[in-house]
Structure 1
Amino acid sequence: MVRVYNSKTRSCRWIGPFVALLLNLLIALGMYFIARVEFLLENYSYFSENLTFSHLCSLFAGSLPFDKSAIAYTNSLYILMMLFPLWLKETPVYHRVCKWLFIVVNTIALVINLCDSVYFPYTLRRTTTSVFHEFRNETNLGDVFWGELLGHWYLLLLAVVVVWLAWKLYVMPRTDARQLLTVKQRLTYTGVYTVLLVFTGYMTVGACRGGWASGTRPITINNANEYVDRPTECALVLNTPFSLIRTINKNVFEVPNYYSSLDEAGKVFTPIHNLQTVNAPDTMKRKNVVVLIVESFGREYIGGLNKMYFGGKYKGYTPNVDKLIEKSAVWYYSFCNGRKSIDGMPSVLCGIPMFKEPFVLTPSSMNSYTSMAGLLDKEGYTTSFFHGANRGSMGFLAFSKKVGFQQYYGRQDFDQDSRFGGDKQYDGHWGIWDEPFLQYWCAKLGTMKQPFMSACFTVSSHTPYVIPDKYKKVYPEEGIVIHKCIRYTDMAIGKFFREAEKQPWFKNTIFVLTSDHTNLSDHAQYQTDIGGFCSPIIVYDPTAKLVKPGMRNAIAQQIDILPTVLGALGYDKPFLSFGCNLLTTPDDDTYAVNYLNGIYQYVKHGYTMQFDGNKVVGMYKLTDLLMQHNLVGRVPQQAQMERELKAIIYQYMYRMVHDRLHP
């Protein structure tokens, strides 16, 4: 125990708890430092590209304002208790209570940081408060948590060691209220600690807001971009307690001043599609539409979409999807618009990308908007949504109803159909295994009145990365842990299409296959800022009449699916989508947008542009797979791309804020 009070030196009596407070807050800072080192080591492959020691030092130095802010927020009660100017509190019992408060609060912060190091590969960013809304309907999170804990047992050991060290190193002030005998001593104590409390309170508030410098506004997670070379590195600068605290009840969407009105922005970009000028009235094709959204099915795993990068050396893990690609329309560069399942749903089905936070978790989700299902419902289509998880999981039941799906089928509905094994097919974690559920989906489609529009969201290629026992020898562990799950899901997709080919509705159907987002990666080019968004966009028309097969040297994204499908059908009414019709848009005019750690990314003309909301901070050739050469200011298309992206952002924010998500 460190002695900060000496009874023979009365002046130390007044300052003892204050010095102890400072030393203990340094211990808290050390806990954040250890957690950040662990975060780096756990996810080293995502940060290792061009990571020099000097740059790492600058990243860690940049983390200090965010760590100080989080420590100030979380330890504010502790600071108040240590410095409260009441002389009666100076007892061993009181300071033991303070010690327990300090240890408990900072242990929670440590655990949150360590847990987020495991979650990071799925999102490429620190966790925000949206996670509580995202998983609020899940009943299996405890199961998933324990599974991850077993797989990352060393983090539990690290937490125990760090907390033990914090307990041992904690500085306990040696003060005693019984020595403050006279009125003068007590008044002096009160005066000194009142001054110290006011001073420390001022410094604490300054730490919370990131400083008191002139013009400084409270720092947010976006401020991390000041210290990084690429958006992914923001996660290394930030800490999770800060990210959670600074996103509580925040107004996500604000209309920027890039343009003065929708009309002005609309001269550069508009999300309103009006196909009446393209198609004659009453010529809409009554073809079925089937959309398969495959959990975590990143482009990296698909051999048929990696020939341009690896040639014949990389076979991938998807022989069945590779066969589908050979007779489908695919695009040389294809991207998802978000990093979570709840980002993928609005993107694929509604043409709405993720900017700042998942759209469905913001107040704007209460706006009036529709989807492919809602639009086709008005054209006489039967619409349905399938998800093998429990009803309400991920909020998909509510979302499907909101956007116009007539029917929802989940785990409980599957259980009632004895043909496919019932609840024995439950994976014990998320939902029904993909193989039986996709067969169930195919069978249900055969009972629906044509034309129908149906979407299915799979569950098996997901943490905790398990497959049915009968396939464990068929698809053994290889590469990284998700690969066996990808092989299993690919097999399930192959069986679905083989069964669908036997159905009378098959040739009258347009199929779309994509993923909700990407996942674990073992190739450096898929761990970059834009590589983490590489998802397949596959459109298959068995008749090859409305959608011609082949690889197009163009860009595709999830939000293109809605206008592309409606365009193929000859839909002739106005609708909203932030994407484009891939079948009619010239290759050089195709584009993709996404958002990562405060940075908007805009892919067009063979480049990825990064924009922080105020200025362009990155320009990289798409052929620069590792994003090593920043060409800001040296690309002729940069100015035009910036104008276009600003128009997209303005349209998005204005329509979100003012509920203008219909034409």
Structure 2
Amino acid sequence: MFIALWGYWLIYMIVIRLVFLMYNADLSAVLNASELFRIVFRGFHMDVSMAGYYLALYGLLLTFSVFFPSQWASRVLRWITVMLLVFSGAVTVVDLELYRHWGFRINNTPFMYLGPGAFGSISFWVAVKGTMIFFGLLGAFLFLYNKWIAPLAGSLSGRILKGYGLLMLLVTGGMILPIRGSFTVAPMNEGMVYFHASKPYANHAAINVVWNFVASMKQSAKIRYPEDFYDPGQTQSVMSRLYSAPDSTTPILKPGRPNVLLIIMEGFTSGIIEPLGGLPGITPALNRLCGEGILFTHFYASGDRTDKGVVSILSGYPAQTQTSIVKFPGKTENLPYLSRELKNRGYHTSFLYGGDADFANLRSYLTNARFDHLTDLESFPKVQNTSKWGVHDHFMFERLRAEMDTARMPFFKTVLTLSSHEPFDVPLKSRKVLQSEEDLYLNACTYTDKYLGEFIGYAKKQPWWNSTLIVITADHGHRHPGNRALQDEQRFRIPLLLLGGALSVTPHEKDILGGQTDIANTILAQTGGRENKFAFSKDLLNPAAVPFSAFFFQNGYGFMQPGKGYIYDHIAHRVTVAYGDTTDLGAGKAYQQALFSDYNRR
């Protein structure tokens, strides 16, 4: 029966991998038959390990069953199986949808975002699909258990159990071998199933999702990053070179202290903005505005989530590969803040968001940022709370108008939109039938763009316009359009646009490579001088600034320089995507090591 249980769970593990491949059919379609076979073959190694965990539990039960009637063992075997099926099915179903959005197999990361808005991106149809898959798996494998395993469990007699007690104890102890996955010093890990040098999805599909989740839960929430990824001495030398430009900037503003309005657009990737090479007609207002200010054409998000983007913008601090620093107030207390620096320079500061500021621990971060005023979901009438994430953007822009009319100058106001987040349930009727998720995303972006354009049109008529710098960027990129993989550098490309009546220069484009972390010192340089405490931020308007950008995702990073760049996978320990010459990886590795070490110290 023990062997039958092992076979039962190995079949289950293979089936859930096939379900994953079918659920992500658009991604699986680019794989050939050989690659699909290797996914199952390489993944079987981890399947055996996960089945070993379950078999160890069964083995302990059968070992101690010698002290109880045989009927007891049969019943408990059934209940353990049901609980394991429920647990495994829940992990599988949640992973199916999260992977499409996040690009990595489920681990302990979702627990960082549990809260009132945690399920805001789940549409009704996604919930129905997930429920059907969950109960389909549960029903099918309960049927298989009743037909195959239950008769074997029912035939166990007390005499047999007593005779096998010692044997089962030895077999249970032996489960350490399949669980560990090798006889070497390296235990089972995700890298053991990686096999493809250029298709991360193939490697991800080979991972046993239940094993991945269980392994991540065993890790400490306070992850300590390695200090030996790159030589410390060389790291310091490289970082000094990357940020060695003298404190000199190109003035772009009229004399005096300008107001600063920072607008952070949810998920506005460059792929939807025509002047940046994106699809035509999706953001007509923003397309037009790109010709009225300073447009940075090679600008990147630091991470792939809103909380990471907000920290990168306001603190000039890069995203992390396994954690989000915003979840640890003890660390964020020690970060530099753009709002604090401007407040020290006499600015009145405020933050406006139509959602729940408690989601993803954002409120503690904003509290540490010492904004004079915070407007979030609680500040809006309940009748306006009509989206799954909170107040739709047209209500938010109405509130922004009211707050701007009464703002004390000079002001620094940060605005974060939300309507272009899944499930894209915006109150805008499209001219065409919205069939795919990409259609819904593009429609939501068009909706937010409409009200952004109306707000800017209104702002141009206000007395504060001529003394205001408006900074428009995004919190992160998006997998749409094109359902790009998480490791695709195009997924991290976002806009950065400077406009407003405070500009003293003619509209133009700048092609210097930069990223979200550079916004802080770029603004500070125009309002009194940059601050060295923003160690990962350069002034993009400094003629001597070194052009480069770095971005981070789960267990990997990208590093872009003029004419070249690469994507590095920490699990595979290699470059998985190369853009141009990648013979010298030193600058990117040094940047990653500098971030690792800085995070550990905070």
TM above 0.5, one fold?
A: yes
**Counterpart-to-counterpart distance in 1, 2:187 and 2:195:** 14
- 2:238 paired residue among 268, 279, 296: 268
1:58 aligns with 2:38: yes
1:200 aligns with 2:172: yes
Query: C-alpha displacement at 1:63, in angstroms?
Result: 2.0
Query: C-alpha displacement at 1:342, in angstroms?
Result: 1.6
Amino acid at match of 2:209: T
Amino acid at match of 1:128: N
Equivalent residues, number: 592
Q: Is the 8 A contact 1:68 1:207 kept in 2?
A: yes
Q: Is the 8 A contact 1:295 1:460 kept in 2?
A: yes
1:505 aligns with 2:470: no
- 1:338 paired residue among 303, 324, 343: 303
Q: Secondary structure of the equivalent of 1:245?
A: helix
- Partner of 1:349 in structure 2? 314
1:41 aligns with 2:10: no
Q: Secondary structure of the equivalent of 1:539?
A: strand
Q: Is the 8 A contact 2:419 2:448 kept in 1?
A: yes
- Partner of 1:324 in structure 2? 289
Q: Is the 8 A contact 1:148 1:464 kept in 2?
A: no
**Counterpart-to-counterpart distance in 2, 1:426 and 1:271:** 49
- Partner of 1:368 in structure 2? 334
Q: String of CA shifts for 1:610-661, please: whole Å, max 9, x gaps.
A: 334596424523xxxxxxxxx7xxx2x531xx111122122112111122xx
1:638 aligns with 2:595: no
**Counterpart-to-counterpart distance in 1, 2:378 and 2:561:** 44
1:244 aligns with 2:189: no
- Partner of 1:315 in structure 2? 280
- Partner of 1:574 in structure 2? 532
Amino acid at match of 2:534: L
- Partner of 1:216 in structure 2? 186
Q: Is the 8 A contact 1:103 1:167 kept in 2?
A: no
**Counterpart-to-counterpart distance in 2, 1:438 and 1:102:** 53
Query: C-alpha displacement at 1:396, in angstroms?
Result: 1.9
Q: Is the 8 A contact 2:569 2:575 kept in 1?
A: yes
- Partner of 1:550 in structure 2? 508
Q: String of CA shifts for 1:343-385, please: whole Å, max 9, x gaps.
A: 2111122122222222223586355112211221111111111
- 1:80 paired residue among 57, 60, 74: 60
**Counterpart-to-counterpart distance in 2, 1:537 and 1:543:** 17
Amino acid at match of 1:196: M
Q: Is the 8 A contact 1:58 1:227 kept in 2?
A: no
- Partner of 2:455 in structure 1? 496
1:426 aligns with 2:403: no
In structure 2, do the counterparts of structure 1 residues 278 and 186 end up closer, same or farther at CA, with 3 Å as the change threshold? closer
Q: String of CA shifts for 1:147-184, please: whole Å, max 9, x gaps.
A: 6313656535643553444444441225667662xxxx
TM-score, length of structure 1 as denominator length? 0.81
In structure 2, do the counterparts of structure 1 residues 526 and 538 end up closer, same or farther at CA, with 3 Å as the change threshold? farther
- 2:325 paired residue among 348, 356, 359: 359
Q: Secondary structure of the equivalent of 1:296?
A: coil
- Partner of 1:603 in structure 2? 560
- State the superposition RMSD in angstroms: 3.2
Query: C-alpha displacement at 1:520, in angstroms?
Result: 4.5
In structure 2, do the counterparts of structure 1 residues 331 and 382 end up closer, same or farther at CA, with 3 Å as the change threshold? same
Q: Secondary structure of the equivalent of 1:267?
A: helix
Query: C-alpha displacement at 1:264, in angstroms?
Result: 4.8
- Partner of 1:7 in structure 2? none
Amino acid at match of 1:201: G
- Partner of 1:257 in structure 2? 228
Amino acid at match of 1:155: I
Q: Secondary structure of the equivalent of 1:384?
A: strand
| Bigger Rg, structure 1 or 2 | 1
- Partner of 2:356 in structure 1? 390
- 2:345 paired residue among 379, 382, 385: 379
- Taking every aligned residue pair, what percent have the same amino acid on both sides? 19
Query: C-alpha displacement at 1:440, in angstroms?
Result: 0.5
In structure 2, do the counterparts of structure 1 residues 73 and 536 end up closer, same or farther at CA, with 3 Å as the change threshold? farther
Query: C-alpha displacement at 1:80, in angstroms?
Result: 1.8
Amino acid at match of 2:367: K
Q: Which runs of 5+ in 1 are unaligned?
A: 1-19, 308-313, 416-422, 622-630
**Counterpart-to-counterpart distance in 1, 2:556 and 2:85:** 30
- Partner of 1:540 in structure 2? 499
In structure 2, do the counterparts of structure 1 residues 458 and 96 end up closer, same or farther at CA, with 3 Å as the change threshold? same
Amino acid at match of 2:35: H
1:529 aligns with 2:499: no
Q: Secondary structure of the equivalent of 1:268?
A: helix
**Counterpart-to-counterpart distance in 2, 1:75 and 1:296:** 44
In structure 2, do the counterparts of structure 1 residues 414 and 75 end up closer, same or farther at CA, with 3 Å as the change threshold? farther
Q: Is the 8 A contact 1:225 1:598 kept in 2?
A: no
Amino acid at match of 1:34: V
Q: Secondary structure of the equivalent of 2:443?
A: helix
**Counterpart-to-counterpart distance in 2, 1:247 and 1:476:** 41
**Counterpart-to-counterpart distance in 1, 2:9 and 2:518:** 47
Amino acid at match of 1:64: F
Query: C-alpha displacement at 1:112, in angstroms?
Result: 1.7
Query: C-alpha displacement at 1:550, in angstroms?
Result: 2.6
**Counterpart-to-counterpart distance in 2, 1:295 and 1:149:** 23
- Partner of 1:129 in structure 2? 108
Query: C-alpha displacement at 1:340, in angstroms?
Result: 1.5
Query: C-alpha displacement at 1:73, in angstroms?
Result: 3.8
Amino acid at match of 1:41: M
- 1:155 paired residue among 127, 133, 136: 133
Q: Is the 8 A contact 2:272 2:282 kept in 1?
A: yes
Counterparts of residues 614-625 of structure 1 (less than 5 Å): 616-621=574-579
TM-score, length of structure 2 as denominator length? 0.88
Q: Which runs of 5+ in 2 are unaligned?
A: none
Query: C-alpha displacement at 1:55, in angstroms?
Result: 1.9
In structure 2, do the counterparts of structure 1 residues 216 and 355 end up closer, same or farther at CA, with 3 Å as the change threshold? same
Query: C-alpha displacement at 1:437, in angstroms?
Result: 0.7
Q: Is the 8 A contact 1:364 1:656 kept in 2?
A: no
**Counterpart-to-counterpart distance in 1, 2:534 and 2:193:** 33
Q: Secondary structure of the equivalent of 2:566?
A: strand
Q: Is the 8 A contact 2:352 2:376 kept in 1?
A: yes
- Partner of 2:264 in structure 1? 293
Amino acid at match of 1:199: V
